[in-house]
Amino acid sequence: MITNLQTPIDYLKGVGPNRADLLRTELGIHTYQDLINLFPNRYIDRTQYYKINHLQRNNADVQVIGKITEFKEVAQQQGKRLVATFQDGTGSMELVWFRGQKWIRESIKLNTPYVIFGKTNWFNGKFSMPHPEMELLEDHEKNLRSAMQPVYPSTEKLSNKGITNRVISKIMQQLFLETNGRFKETLSENILSELKLINKSEALFNVHFPKNQELLARAQYRLKFEELFYIQLQLILKNLIHKSKIKGFPFEKVGTYFNAFFNNHLPFELTNAQKRVLKEIRHDLGSNAQMNRLLQGDVGSGKTIVALMSMLIALDNGFQACLMAPTEILSVQHYNGLVELCNKLNISIKLLTGSTKTSERKEIHHMLENGELDILIGTHALLENKVKFRNLGLAIIDEQHRFGVEQRSKLWHKSLPSGEVGGASFIPPHVLIMTATPIPRTLAMSVYGDLDISIIDELPPGRKSIKTVHRYDKNRLNVFKFIRDEIAKGRQIYIVYPLIQESETMDYKDLMDGYASIERDFPKPNYQISIVHGKMKPADKDYEMQRFIKGETNIMVATTVIEVGVNVPNASVMIIESAERFGLSQLHQLRGRVGRGAEQSYCILMTSHKLSNDSKTRLETMVRTSDGFEIAEVDLRLRGPGDIMGTQQSGVLNLKIADIIKDKDILQNARFYAKKVLNTDPSLSTSKNKVILNTYQELAKFKNIWNYIS
């Protein structure tokens, strides 16, 4: 009989209502299942016993077997301390207590073998151990304990209320006694034997009470694999269900618009990567299922052309298309770029943002509904209820991590007549998500594992790679000389200052001080300078941007507002001030603002001499490589998945034991086996996969391994 692991934690012997409330609020432990999934953070190796004459003066945790031969009280400035002499046949040391002395004296037996554990100090020519953990040797040998002692996650409140690591270990032992250490198997025989994995009961026992390092490693591998396997299974199933259940408009033909553009108006030869991605998109659009594809490509890799050609396929099949971007600057850039590319194709394209005038809005709404408008570009304004398409066939979302889940789902219902929401005849538009933020492979497999992924991994021909250097503040005069030389050649320069929300006033001062010193070193009328920052009115910001774009100013002094969406091919130098204060992906995005023309471009990272190890790693990575995916991997290692996903998707990787950074090999293996199982048995209906189906349904019911949405 296997105990029901959904039993509330209050019923476990030794817990009781008060402890149960604390475990619920502090660690989210509601049931036996939650407790069994409270995995240790680390382990203290209790396999070794030291002799007193072998102790080293290194303040390490040690374990010694011996006897207390006497106690004495020693007066100190405030009160007294209790000191015991502890001997083991090779020498003696002191045990010291500053509180709880009465209880210690009454409960500890003299001349009886004890195991003591704690940190040692060297004082007055002798070793001492303050407040040691103590256990009678005979109890120590009898206990359900591991040689590797687990250290569980905790909080200050738990420690203050007396729920120490030892208490958690005790209630964990109780749970194993009540369940007889028997737990339902969750993986199929095939997987267990192919991967030589230990069974579930053995894995749980050895992760909480490991007898040695090898058994602990096998237990951890088994549990990490299982956790990642079920996440991958869920994501791949979600994709399969999406394809079989959610119908899409079949775009059967590639017609006049696409062919005319491809044959007569393509500004450059497509790269092999662009051709491959277009083929993948065309396959999706013609498949009767709704496309749900993520298009990744580094800054400047040519995603816009792919997006346009995908929209032309929609137009060829009698449908409308839209492109939604997170900022006005970016949507204006998309609009201008697409209008220029389509000017000979007789296509109607409009722009809708927060600044669009009311009269223009009304005209756009009218044109959308009667089908006169082919392509709409815009910001969140596209999501307003008044925006209704006659027949939206393709929705493209740029930098989708900046939009919430609800916002994205609104786009689905944009071409619905009222009253038909959720109706049987509803067919959503195809969705293409674009990002210039390279997503590390492990994160793509986990967070976007239910999307089909296309990658543009080569830059268009003729692009020169950007030379990146790191310079300290003391080199500033040389850097200014370099700027003058570049301006003399007719080039333009960006100088970017950090803006970190906690202290906008300080950062604003940085920017204004920087601007003042640039004005001194680059005086009018020889030099013209633009300034752009978040406190400016949109119209003023736009005016300054336009002056720079038209080449009326030589230098653009800005905060990170130019991180996305400014396209000035003549700008060849990006100087990033206080570069140590930026994250890696931000540095990479800023660098992508230059290198857009045919000339050699440069990125100069300016810092002070005081740099943390992480800052050094970030700067070295930027200087060494311009490969966005490699940079994203380093960024993931430095920051962890939560930070990279941003607030709207935090909690997306609510993992209990696996770590997608350290365990990426296990993740790849788990995805491989999840695909293998579903390829041969998509409904998990065969007898050999019964255990997988049951486990999957349990997890889906209690939602206690993931809280996913992508």
Domains 47-144 and 467-625 belong to one CATH topology: no
The model's pTM is 0.68
Q: What are the two backbone dihedrals, phi and then psi, of residue 535, each rounded to the nearest 5 degrees?
A: -85, -5
Output the CA torsion sign for 383, 305, 341, 566: positive
For residue 314, the SS3 value is helix
For residue 387, the SS3 value is coil
The pLDDT score that the predictor gives to residue 567 is: 75
Cα angle 658, 663, 664 (rounded to 5 degrees) comes to 125
The single residue listed with the structure tokens 């004082």 is: 123
The single residue listed with the structure tokens 């209690």 is: 702
Q: Are 216 and 42 in contact (CB under 8 A)?
A: no
**CA distances in angstroms from 580 to 318, 610, 612, 637, listed in the order given:** 51, 9, 8, 17
Residues in a beta bridge with 351: 377
Q: Are 392 and 320 in contact (CB under 8 A)?
A: yes
Tens digits of residue pLDDT in 370-390: 999 999 999 999 999 899 999
Q: What is the CATH number of domain 47-144?
A: 2.40.50.140
Copy the structure tokens of residue 4: 């029901």
The pLDDT score that the predictor gives to residue 362 is: 95
CB hemisphere CA count around 488 (13 angstroms)? 6
Cα–Cα distance, 569 to 463 (Å, whole number)? 11
The pLDDT score that the predictor gives to residue 203 is: 97
Cα–Cα distance, 619 to 583 (Å, whole number)? 10
Report the CATH architecture of 467-625.
Answer: 3-Layer(aba) Sandwich (3.40)
Looking at this protein, which amino acid is placed at residue 21?
A: D
The single residue listed with the structure tokens 């374990």 is: 63
The pLDDT score that the predictor gives to residue 130 is: 92
Contacts of 267 (CB under 8 A, 6+ apart): 341
Cα–Cα distance, 376 to 374 (Å, whole number)? 7
- How is the chain split into domains, by residue range? 47-144, 256-456, 467-625
Contacts of range 130-136, beta carbons closer than 8 Å, 24 or more positions apart:
130/95, 130/96, 130/97, 130/98, 131/96, 131/97, 131/98, 132/95, 133/166, 134/108, 136/109, 136/112
| Helix ranges restricted to H, 197-302 | 200-208, 213-245, 256-260, 272-285
Strands 602-607 and 467-472, how do they pair?
parallel
Omega within 30 of 0 (cis) for the link into 525: yes
Cα–Cα distance, 428 to 416 (Å, whole number)? 9
Residues in a beta bridge with 432: 293, 396
Low-confidence ranges of the chain (pLDDT < 50): 418-424, 500-502, 643-652, 704-710
Residues in a beta bridge with 64: 50, 116
The secondary structure of 341-355 as a DSSP string is: HHTTS---EEEE-TT
Contacts of 302 (CB under 8 A, 6+ apart): 270, 271, 274, 456, 459, 460
Listed residue (320, 327, 326) closest to 350, CA to CA: 320
Q: What is the CATH number of domain 256-456?
A: 3.40.50.300
The pLDDT score that the predictor gives to residue 330 is: 84
H or E, element range at 477: helix 476-488
Output the CA torsion sign for 545, 548, 549, 550: positive
Cα 27–chain centre separation: 22
Contacts of 491 (CB under 8 A, 6+ apart): 570, 571, 572, 573, 599
Cα–Cα distance, 463 to 595 (Å, whole number)? 7
Q: Are 466 and 553 in contact (CB under 8 A)?
A: no
